[in-house]
Structures are given as structure tokens and as C-alpha cells.
Amino acid sequence: MTNHGQELAKAGLAIKAIKLNPDTPFLWASGYHMPIYNDNRMFLFFPEHRELIIEGFKDIIKINNIKFDIIAGTSTAGIPHGALLADRLNVPFIYIRDKPKAHGLKNQIEGIDAESDLKQKSVLVIEDLISTGGSSARAVQAVRDANGIVNYCISIFSYGLNKAASAFNKLDIPCETISILTYDVLLEAVKEIDYMSDAQINLLKEWKDDPFEWGNKHGFSKIEK
């Protein structure tokens, strides 16, 4: 079986969809300095990478015997990948706004009539990246609020942070998360292709263990907003 995670890690590094810099970390919107930045939208430019992601999702669905009636993409970067997968599998597609529109029919779930709901259909949520997990868990809840059943949220990439697990654990009904690429697999690929020094890889491993204090420990204080 193809190791889609390893292939995706190498592809992401090659096209700079995944950037790693423990020496000069990136400032996230939260104000924390982090040694990784990920933009899965960049995979859309390359047909072979789009195909790799679709095949990765299909493998997850098959291995875990996931049954569903509808695919839902998260706004915004989960939408194109979710739509591509729905098209390949010939199933209905919807997408989830991060919050309801402030005008018109005030939809949060797009693809169904605002006066209707999901009628207890089973929905597979497609996310591009699970970092701290808050927005992903809210997307799952939005589908459930629209009378949909969600047991799985699958993503292209996950950092595997405890904070994300906590966000999903706070949901009233459990929802399993599975990713094509995980942070640990990314680090394995980095080592395999000699992408960084051992010292830099150790800094990246250290970040995973304590991401929100990592910057302070290395002289990159949080920027208060």
C-alpha cells in the first residue's frame, strides 16, 4: 500500500506548502511563534498532488470502513479538496462556513436549503489542517446542529496537538479525527531526505511536546494582540 503521508510530506516540502524554520519561527495569528507553517491550498496547483490527497482520503475511508451519505468541506481550504473527493465518489457535497452569514438567509451550511436540514444523514467532514482543533470541532458541531450525523473528521494534515484532542473531546458526542499526514510522519520524511540538521529536527520534536511554551523557551515571546 502506498504511504500517502510520506509522499505528501515530501511533496509539501518540495513545493513549500509546508515550511519549517525552528531558527526563525513563524508568527501565527494567535501571537505565538511556531517553527512550522502549512498552506494546503498550494497542493491545488498540482494535479498529481490533488490526486495524492484524494487517494489518501480514499484509503482512510476504506481502512476505517467509514460510511457516509454526504461530504462536507470546511471553509475555506477544506472546500476544494472535499469537493474533489465528493466528485470522485459521486456523493452529495456541502460546505461549512466558520459562522452563519450576516445577511440573506444567514446560512452556515451551504448546499442545502436554509429552511431545511440534513435529515439525520451521515456526513463526513473534510478539513485541510487540524492545528489547535477549535475551528474543526466547531464545523462538526455546525453539521450536527443542522441535524446531520458526524462520526469522523478527516484532514490532509494534523499537528497532533493535545489542544486539538481537547477541542474534540468537548463535543457532546465523540468524533474521530484521522489525517493523511501527521506531524510525526513529517519529521520522519524530513530526516529521510536530509532536509534539516539533527539539531533542527530535535527543536521540531521539542515543539510538538510543548508548542505554546516553545517560543518563550527559545527567546520568541508571544505577541499580545
Bin 201: left if φ > 0, else alpha if -120 < ψ < 50, else beta.
alpha
Average pLDDT over residues 32-47: 97
Average pLDDT over residues 152-170: 96
- Tell whether omega for the bond before 76 is within 30 degrees of 0, i.e. cis: yes
Sequence ranges of the domains in the chain: 4-217
Cβ atoms 5, 199 nearer than 8 A? no
Task: Write out the three cell numbers for 175.
Answer: 468524533
Q: Which CATH number fits domain 4-217: 3.40.50.2020, 3.30.565.10, 3.40.80.10, 3.40.50.2300?
A: 3.40.50.2020
pLDDT digits (tens, 9 = 90+) for 103-125: 655 679 999 988 899 999 999 99
pLDDT digits (tens, 9 = 90+) for 123-154: 999 999 999 999 999 999 999 999 999 999 99
pLDDT band for position 1 (cuts 50, 70, 90): very low
**Which pTM was predicted?**
0.95
Tell me which residue of 92, 114, 83 sits closest to 101, measured CA to CA: 114
Between CA 99 and CA 212, with CA 37 as vertex, the angle to 5 degrees is: 80
Between residues 103 and 218, which one has the greater pLDDT?
218
Q: Compute the 3-state secondary structure of the chain and give helix, strand, coil in percent, each to the nearest 5.
A: 45, 20, 35
Tell me which residue of 29, 13, 143 sits closest to 78, measured CA to CA: 143
